[in-house]
Structures are given as C-alpha cells and as structure tokens.
Amino acid sequence: MKSKLILVCVMVAISLCLSACLPASKQVSVEVSCDDFMRQNHISQEAEVAVDGSLTVTLCSNPSTGFQWVESAEISDQTVLQQTDHRFVSPGDQELIGAPGQQVWTFKALKKGTSTISMEYSRAWEGGEKGEWTFNLTVTVK
C-alpha cells in the first residue's frame, strides 16, 4: 500500500514538471462574459503566449447602453505586445436591439517579457460614467 502511494506521488511530481516544460501556445484566447462582469466589476487575469504568437481578448459589450470598451488597449510594454486588431461582433446573425455583443482585440507577441493590457468600459461622453468595468490581463511572452 505504501509503495503505491509513493508511486502515485512520483507520477504526480513528474506530470507537474513536464507540464511546466511545455512551450507556450502560439494562439491564446481569453474571453470574459457579461455574467462575469456582473459578478465582479474589475477582473484581472494572466495568460502565456509564445513569441510571434497571437492573443485574442474577447469582452462582453453592449453599445446600445452607451457603454463601450476603449478601442485601443493600454499596453504597459509595447515592445513585448502590439495590438493588431479591434472589432465589435454583434449578437448572432441578427442585430437584436439592446442585446449584448462582444468586442474583440488581437495582439501579437513580439519578444519575451511581460506586459499588462488594461481596458475600461465607460460612457465616453463628457460627464459619462468612467471605469464601470475594468479588465487587466498580465501577459507573459515566452
């Protein structure tokens, strides 16, 4: 019995070591739903991506409320990450009035390092609510 327990512990240790040695993925996606933001207004996450890989960030958005995410994300180290695209994806095949869609950003991993992507969901006009939701993603490029 004791030898089986030791064997299981050794197998778990080997599995953890091997998973730590796996290369970072070339294409990484991060998605946050409206339900996630309804539970927590300020979300921080982490992601790993390989050099020359791409990162896609998809966040819930409902411009019919007057709120929208910033078009250009704030990137702490633009020598590590570069924004290459930003677009709004409407809900389904039909544009349902008042239904939330998604804003999607694409980033390219330029070199090894760490950079933080920060975005805020606000009503852009003067006097509008600022930072109703915030999203921060710490990206490690390997």
Q: What are 89's two structure tokens?
A: 């994806």
Residue 40, pLDDT score: 93
Choice between 89 and 14, residue whose per-residue pLDDT is larger = 89
Report the C-alpha gap between 61 and 63 in whole angstroms: 6
Question: Amino acid identity, residue 136?
Answer: N
What per-residue confidence (pLDDT) applies to 46? 98
Which tokens hold the place of 141? 């490029």
**Is the CB of residue 120 less than 8 Å from the CB of residue 133?**
yes
Question: Domains plus CATH for the chain?
Answer: 24-141 (2.60.40.2020)
The per-residue pLDDT for 61 is 92
CA angle 62, 66, 70 (to 5 degrees): 75
What are all long-range contacts of 124-128, with beta carbons under 8 Å and residues at least 24 apart? 124/68, 125/66, 128/66
In whole angstroms, give the CA distance from residue 142 to residue 40.
30
The model's pLDDT over 108-131, given as tens digits with 9 standing for 90+, comes to 999 999 999 999 999 877 777 888
Rg (CA), the chain: 19
Tell whether the model's pLDDT for residue 16 goes beyond 80: no
In angstroms, the first-to-last Cα distance of the chain is 41
pLDDT tens-digit map of 17-63: 434 444 567 999 999 998 999 899 999 999 999 999 999 999 999 88
Reported as a single tens digit per residue, the pLDDT across 62-110 is 888 888 898 889 999 999 999 999 999 888 766 566 778 899 999 999 9
